[in-house]
Amino acid sequence: MAHEAGRRVNPRWYTRARWVVQILALAAYLAAFILARRGTGLPAAANVFLRLDPLAALAQALSGREFVAGMLLSLLVIGLTLGLGRAWCGWLCPLGTILDVFRPSRRRVRALAAAEPWRRVKILLVVLILASALLGGLSLMVLDPLTLLTRSLASSIWPALDRIVLALETGLYRVPLLAPLVGRADSFLRPAVFPTEPLPGRVALGFGVLLASIIGLNWLAERFWCRYMCPLGGLLALLSRVAFVKRTVAPGCNACGACTHVCPTATIRADRQFASDPAECTMCLECLPACPRQGAMFSAGTAIAPRMAYDPKRREVLAALGGGLAGAALLRSQTATPSASAHWVQPPGARENNLIGKCLRCGECTRTCPTGAIHPAISEAGLEGLWTPVLVPRLGYCDYSCTACGEICPVGAIPALALEQKRLTVIGVAYIDKDRCIAWADLRDCIVCEEMCPVAEKAILLERVEVTRHDGSTVSVQQPRVVRERCIGCGICEYKCPLSGEAAIRVWAPNIALPL
């Protein structure tokens, strides 16, 4: 990008080109997210961004003891970084672009000089994540920017958008002349973009606030997340130290300081003669148009970037290494409370597949699930399994004809099962709460659970019994009973149970003590 004399490109075009690439990459990411919905037939396209993530590839390979071929795509980002430094962060990362869109004006951000040492946090996070992965722990992958954004979209932004669109449609449909237009618009949106029934988001507010907080940190320091916290940024920062193209200061620099005001990661500093740290530079090129004298330039070279005062010390790295190993072991030994883990119902085949040691916590399965059954675990899977997928049958059931979650999972943590195999895979067991079931407590016929049961030989039997009522009269009631050998735990009985609040039939985690 060094300029040739005589044919000088207006440097403003470099930043404009970057904006175009950023917006296109964000649009591609959103398109992939939309395509992740079941029925589009393009799960591979939907996973492109997660598979570009070298941190995810590395951590999952260490933890899962196997390399998923699709994750080889991450070599592209590694190559890009070795060539051009953290260009992923500045040009392609969808979260980075969102942070660039939602930022205060640069004049309003005070310099956070005191925070400089905190830049090492992201590097130490990489060490922590990879060390825990050695022991089969991927819990900290919740902090990967791509899993974080995908999960926020799937569990918060998308359900919220769905509600807003539905409210608009419901309102406009009742305006006489608009009704046909609303119907037509809706057929574009559903089921491709939103499901035909409203999506449940179990902790939509929580995930929304989390994403909003990361954006909000921009007001403390621009790209706060990318400077201090992002573990993927940390990994790319390590590689960037040997990047081929780096920013340098040309002899024309007159120390005016204009570049320091526009640098989003504030790595250009007057006290370093306006040089920057390639590990912190996102190659955004904002310094080019800001410089009045072509003093900033980007040039190729094989020099290794010097160490910085804020780089982690050796003992800190060793501490993170030990902390990661110890943390993984401690998290593994700290199980969920019995009452929470009793409802740890995992997507089909995931339990037998050691999901917790392979799952990236990306939330693609939440997005793809057509019935809104899969949600990020809160307490069910313990702290170790935070935000791994859990089936919440009261919010959605596992569709008897669906294998979408296994098809979408980018790392095979949820196995891709053939439909016939999935129909035989036990994910949980249903138990009836006779204290509340209409047939037992109210002596009335209901039978909804039996009616809904999808297995050919119904896993719920109805027994007609004569019961004596309080006044001595008798009444004939059909009482449901679960046939343990037939129940696969799909949860449609719990979902459809007409009681309000907690259902009178609930799916529990499979009982290991019983042969299934």
Partner 1 sequence: MPAPMTRRAFLRLLGIGIGGAACMRIANTLPDPLASSPAPTLVPLPASVTPFLPAQAAPTQAPPTAVSYPDLVVARGPTPEHLVRQGLAALGGMPRFVHPGARVVIKPNICVAYHSYEYAATTNPWVVGELVRQCLAAGAAQVTVMDSPFGGSAEQAYAISGIEAQVQAAGGEMHLMRSFKYVATDLPQGRDLHALEIYDDVLNADVLINVPIAKHHSLARLTLGMKNLMGVIRDRPLMHQAIGQRLADLASRVRPALTIVDAVRMLMAHGPSGGSLADVRQADTLILSTDIVAADSYAATLFGLQPDDLPYLRAGRDMGLGQSDLGAMRIEELRVGA
Q: Which residues bind partner 1 (CB under 8 A)?
A: 38-39, 156, 159-160, 163-164, 166, 169-170, 173-174, 182-183, 186-187, 190-191, 195-206, 208, 370-371, 394-395, 399-402, 444-448, 450-458, 462, 478, 492, 495-496, 498-501
Q: Which is nearer to partner 1, 159 or 295 (CB)?
A: 159
Q: Which is nearer to partner 1, 312 or 396 (CB)?
A: 396
Q: Minimum distance between the CB of residue 195 and partner 1, rounded to whole angstroms? A: 8
Q: Which is nearer to partner 1, 360 or 398 (CB)?
A: 398
Q: Minimum distance between the CB of residue 25 and partner 1, rounded to whole angstroms? A: 25
Q: Which is nearer to partner 1, 70 or 206 (CB)?
A: 206
Q: Minimum distance between the CB of residue 99 and partner 1, rounded to whole angstroms? A: 18
Segment (H or E) for 56 = helix 54-64
Q: Minimum distance between the CB of residue 463 and partner 1, rounded to whole angstroms? A: 11
Q: Minimum distance between the CB of residue 466 and partner 1, rounded to whole angstroms? A: 18
Q: Which residues contact 277 (CB under 8 A, 6 or more apart)?
A: 267, 305, 308
Query: For residue 229, how far is the Cα from the chain centroid?
Result: 16
The rounded distance, in Å, linking the Cα atoms of 104 and 222 is: 8
List the end-to-end C-alpha distance of the chain, in Å, as a whole number: 65
Strand-strand pairing, 389-391 and 460-468: unpaired
Strand-strand pairing, 296-300 and 374-376: unpaired
Q: Which is nearer to partner 1, 168 or 255 (CB)?
A: 168
Longest C-alpha distance within the chain, in Å? Answer: 105
Q: Which is nearer to partner 1, 169 or 433 (CB)?
A: 169
Q: Which residues contact 310 (CB under 8 A, 6 or more apart)?
A: 116, 117, 118, 119, 120
Nearest residue to 80 via CA among 232, 193, 211, 240: 240
Nearest residue to 386 via CA among 211, 64, 139: 139
Question: Could you write out the DSSP letters of every residue in 39-55?
Answer: TSS-HHHHTHHHHT-HH
Q: Which is nearer to partner 1, 79 or 183 (CB)?
A: 183
Positive or negative torsion for Cα 211, 213, 216, 218:
negative
Q: Minimum distance between the CB of residue 422 and partner 1, rounded to whole angstroms? A: 12
Place of tokens 């569990």: 155
Strand-strand pairing, 429-432 and 245-249: unpaired
Q: Minimum distance between the CB of residue 459 and partner 1, rounded to whole angstroms? A: 11
Q: Residue 482 carries which DSSP code?
A: E
Nearest residue to 402 via CA among 390, 415, 384, 417: 417
Q: Which is nearer to partner 1, 204 or 285 (CB)?
A: 204
Q: Minimum distance between the CB of residue 174 and partner 1, rounded to whole angstroms? A: 6
The rounded distance, in Å, linking the Cα atoms of 424 and 439 is: 29
Q: Which is nearer to partner 1, 52 or 199 (CB)?
A: 199
Q: Minimum distance between the CB of residue 285 and partner 1, rounded to whole angstroms? A: 29
Tokens of 207: 């995930």
